[in-house]
Structure 1
Amino acid sequence: MASSPPSDESDPWVILRTVLRVHTWDRDLFFELVDPPRLSFLTVSTRVSPARPPPLARRGTSSVIRHPRILSADLSASLFLTVTPTPQPTASSSSASTSAATDICCFVLDAASCTSHRIPDPAPGFARFGVIAAPDGASFMVVGLRCSIGNDRASLHCFSSRTGVWVTKDVNNPRPHRTWTFSDVIAHDGKLWWVDTTTKGLLYCDPFADQPSMSFVPFPNHVTAVEARAKASAYDYVQVADGTLRWVHVLCDLDETEDGAPILNGAPLLSIYAVLGGDDDGYRLDFELLPHWRGDFSFCFIWESDTFKAAEMPKYEQPVLALIDPNDTDLLYFFLGDYLFGFDIWKHVVLGYAPHGMDDTDVSSSSLLAWKLPPALAAPAARRYCIDLF
């Protein structure tokens, strides 16, 4: 049985799955919108993606996408960069164009204007593409990044919808002796932010500048005596919430049983920081619940909550952070077994829970987006029914 928190009619939002559904109709975009903690879906037509994606990727090709999915998004502009297997050729397609098709292709979906744009294939060798709206809102840019270890220069590979072509821009590499491993690209405050949880920081720039300059913001030094132990593990998550970039750090202290299997030793600890403005301002602790823990929130508050016990979800299983409520940074959503639930970390109460229906392999924060709805979709009627953008 699902339970939902009261919805904020003034600023509605949904939890959007990054894996897309495909339908055989002619219309490009179709949204199924429901209130959190239930999941909303974006469905695309077969013009954007084949109805039956190839089940296996061919070796030696770039085809690693079995199902269409959202690769990146500028959520404030309702732009979604999607990657999909190559659409099936139509009857009018020539054999030459069919043979020239790549294994995967990219579309930018504009939910506000009900349009989709297939972008030309980018050059190889660039990592983790992001999408961002132009400052005037009349166009968008798709940007990939290439940083070589030991080289103090890097490259931005940029496609502008205004020009319709790719260009490569030379930029600085602020950490030339580090290997970058990007887990996400976030559009925020007119910049693209590449999230690297291995290097522990954010690499960012304004891609619309004539001469873009890359900057790096390290995550705060959050090593504790517990985390320094060899058996401890941690994970990080970055999201825009309440108009600010938030970094969430979750520390899990692990021990091993006699058979070598890891077990949780106590409750995980969680800290939230806010980005204030780059290298000069750095970070500040967003709130401080327990001063002697430097603001760490213990997961034991979840397990001991009367509302959690009343929900009869699995106790002492380790919740996995899913996302932050974009309107209320005290409200976090977690995966727990087959459920997704919201928990107010200040009041220590569960605010909504529902089965998520996802496979175990998809249960991660990268599989969901917290999306504030554009005006065309924000009406209560639009959130009660499946809305056809056309």
Structure 2
Amino acid sequence: MSEHEIVPAFVRSRAPEIRWPPQPWVVLYRVPRRANTENFPPGKDITLLLAKPPLSSIATVPWRIAPDDISPTNYPYIVAADASGFLLLYATQGRSKEPADTTLCDARMDLVPAYFLCHAHRSSASLLPKPPSGMVFFHFHNVGLIANPRADGHFLVAELQHLMGTHHASLLCYSTSTDSWFAREFAYHPNHPKRPYDGVISHKRKLWWVDLAYGLFTCDPFTEQPELLYISLPLGCVQPSARSQDIAKRRCVNLSHGKLRYVQIDDCPGKEKVTMWTLHNAVHWRLEYEASFTEIWADASYKASRLQCKVPALAFVHPSNPKVVYFFQDYLIFCANISSRMVMDGEFISMTCPPIGGYSSSSVLAWELPASLQPNDKPFLGGPSYTEGVDHRSAKRTIDALERRLSAHASGLWH
């Protein structure tokens, strides 16, 4: 196969001069790379390679922070990225010697969970202290990070935990301002399945737990008696019995232009389409648009891109332009303006350890950068550095390496 047959047109025609958007943001891959501890200068615990979208940005952490072998069911994971420049990182720390607590669902009892609050600009990572006896974070997809509105520079880390056999839930929290743990219990939606969520979003002083098959749960964790509210997905979208591992390829919820957006792909043969709704007043969903993939595939920009005419996986909505949605197709990430049906940009995915099931909306974060990390800063040792794109030969090498890696993954091998 020749290079022209392999490399999509939007990569071959990329101009060498690439400008960052007015509000810089990055496509942050949630699974960081790991490197020898000796490669990190004293006091440096995390490095970032930041790239202009749609190139992926990569974090690297030392083995001392993420010591366990990576497998399809266990890997370090960036749980949240705050606009102030803090990241919440999850990484297991070996086998647990304590007996399992079976009162909570889906607990990873055989591994010791650890969470690190990372200051991206300073390249530091602080381990959250061990909670008191009887308290523990049980699943990283249930854990959220939110800035404390009453204490500048401080955060609350919180997990919504289902109490098995009851109609109650517990909100387990750690506050950096008081360096203390606490828990609050409240009534829980009786019909919601007791299972892990698909992520947590911080928005308007509240945490929002996302269940892509069911809806959103939200509360203000800073009140003494928080009330847990439930917002169902749009009419006809609730499908709790149809939940599968691939649901994050067909659905996503994220912030765009300051509002929560829900995007869904319907892949019924001959009727493939993508639809977006916006949450208004934290109460109801309003339909924004829908477009058939037949229309998108028929556009001249799609034909010129040389992308395949097959339904892609969802990645996320552009953080400031809700008309633009990002998708994965094999080892490519690309974006399209759904209103105009036009493909706008695309690139090869430069991520290590691709997930066995393929890329999805749980693989990446659209992270708006704080001023301290914006690309007019000069790169510094142990801190962020920036890349503006790849040339044709580099793209070809990327494809070859990714194809070898994906082939190895298909055989069940992890590196």
Structure 2 length-normalised TM: 0.73
The equivalent of 2:215 in structure 1 is: 201
**Which of residues 105, 113, 123 in structure 1 aligns to 2:114?**
105
AA aligned to 1:355 is F
AA aligned to 1:243 is G
The equivalent of 1:80 in structure 2 is: 87
Gap regions ≥5 residues in structure 1: 58-63, 88-100, 254-264, 288-294
C-alpha deviations, 1:310-365, integer Å up to 9, x for none? 12122x22111111111111111111122111111122221111111453534111
The equivalent of 2:203 in structure 1 is: 188
Aligned pair in 2 of structure 1 residues 142, 22: CA closer, same or farther (>3 Å)? Answer: same
Report matched runs for 1:374-389 at 5 Å.
Answer: 374-380=370-376, 388=383
Where relative contact order (Cα < 8 A, 6+ residues apart) is larger, the structure is 2
Tell me how many residue pairs correspond in the alignment: 336
Aligned pair in 2 of structure 1 residues 240, 17: CA closer, same or farther (>3 Å)? Answer: same
C-alpha deviations, 1:71-124, integer Å up to 9, x for none? x2143333322111328xxxxxxxxxxxxx963321111325543221134524
The equivalent of 2:391 in structure 1 is: none
Decide which moves more: 74-83 or 348-357.
Answer: 74-83
CA contact (8 A) 1:30 1:43 kept: yes
CA contact (8 A) 2:122 2:383 kept: no
Question: Take 2:120 and 2:329, find their aligned partners in 1: how far apart are those partners?
Answer: 31
Q: Secondary structure at the match of 1:77?
A: coil
Aligned pair in 2 of structure 1 residues 267, 7: CA closer, same or farther (>3 Å)? Answer: farther
C-alpha deviations, 1:140-179, integer Å up to 9, x for none? 1111112246634321111111222221112222x12321
- Asked if 1:349 is matched to 2:349, the reply is no
CA contact (8 A) 1:4 1:352 kept: no
CA contact (8 A) 2:20 2:52 kept: no
CA contact (8 A) 1:204 1:214 kept: yes
CA contact (8 A) 2:333 2:346 kept: yes
The equivalent of 2:276 in structure 1 is: 272
**Which of residues 249, 269, 293 in structure 1 aligns to 2:264?**
249
C-alpha deviations, 1:27-71, integer Å up to 9, x for none? 112111111111111112344333xx32569xxxxxx52x3221x
Q: Secondary structure at the match of 1:33?
A: strand
CA contact (8 A) 1:151 1:177 kept: no
Runs of 4+ residues over 6 Å off in structure 1 = none
Question: Take 1:75 and 1:305, find their aligned partners in 2: how far apart are those partners?
Answer: 36
Aligned pair in 2 of structure 1 residues 156, 4: CA closer, same or farther (>3 Å)? Answer: farther
Aligned pair in 2 of structure 1 residues 145, 37: CA closer, same or farther (>3 Å)? Answer: same
The equivalent of 2:158 in structure 1 is: 143
Structure 1 length-normalised TM: 0.77
Decide which moves more: 120-129 or 176-185.
Answer: 120-129
The equivalent of 2:294 in structure 1 is: 300
RMSD of aligned residue pairs (Cα, Å): 3.0
The equivalent of 1:116 in structure 2 is: 125
**Which of residues 153, 163, 176 in structure 2 aligns to 1:161?**
176
Gap regions ≥5 residues in structure 2: 1-6, 95-109, 386-415
Question: Take 1:140 and 1:300, find their aligned partners in 2: how far apart are those partners?
Answer: 45
Q: Secondary structure at the match of 1:361?
A: coil
AA aligned to 1:236 is R
CA-CA distance at 1:9 after TM superposition: 3.4
Aligned pair in 2 of structure 1 residues 196, 104: CA closer, same or farther (>3 Å)? Answer: same
Q: Percent identity?
A: 29
Aligned pair in 2 of structure 1 residues 305, 45: CA closer, same or farther (>3 Å)? Answer: same
Aligned pair in 2 of structure 1 residues 381, 312: CA closer, same or farther (>3 Å)? Answer: farther
Aligned pair in 2 of structure 1 residues 212, 56: CA closer, same or farther (>3 Å)? Answer: same
The equivalent of 1:259 in structure 2 is: none
CA-CA distance at 1:251 after TM superposition: 1.4
CA contact (8 A) 2:47 2:59 kept: yes
- Asked if 1:321 is matched to 2:314, the reply is yes
Q: Secondary structure at the match of 1:272?
A: strand
CA contact (8 A) 1:149 1:179 kept: no
The equivalent of 1:68 in structure 2 is: 76
AA aligned to 1:328 is N
Aligned pair in 2 of structure 1 residues 298, 387: CA closer, same or farther (>3 Å)? Answer: farther
Aligned pair in 2 of structure 1 residues 37, 125: CA closer, same or farther (>3 Å)? Answer: closer
AA aligned to 2:181 is W
Aligned pair in 2 of structure 1 residues 125, 9: CA closer, same or farther (>3 Å)? Answer: closer
CA contact (8 A) 1:112 1:374 kept: no
CA contact (8 A) 1:149 1:177 kept: no
Question: Take 1:36 and 1:207, find their aligned partners in 2: how far apart are those partners?
Answer: 33
C-alpha deviations, 1:200-244, integer Å up to 9, x for none? 2100111111111111111120369xxx9xxxx994210011111
Aligned pair in 2 of structure 1 residues 342, 8: CA closer, same or farther (>3 Å)? Answer: same
Q: Secondary structure at the match of 2:357?
A: helix
Query: Which has the larger share of helix?
Result: 2
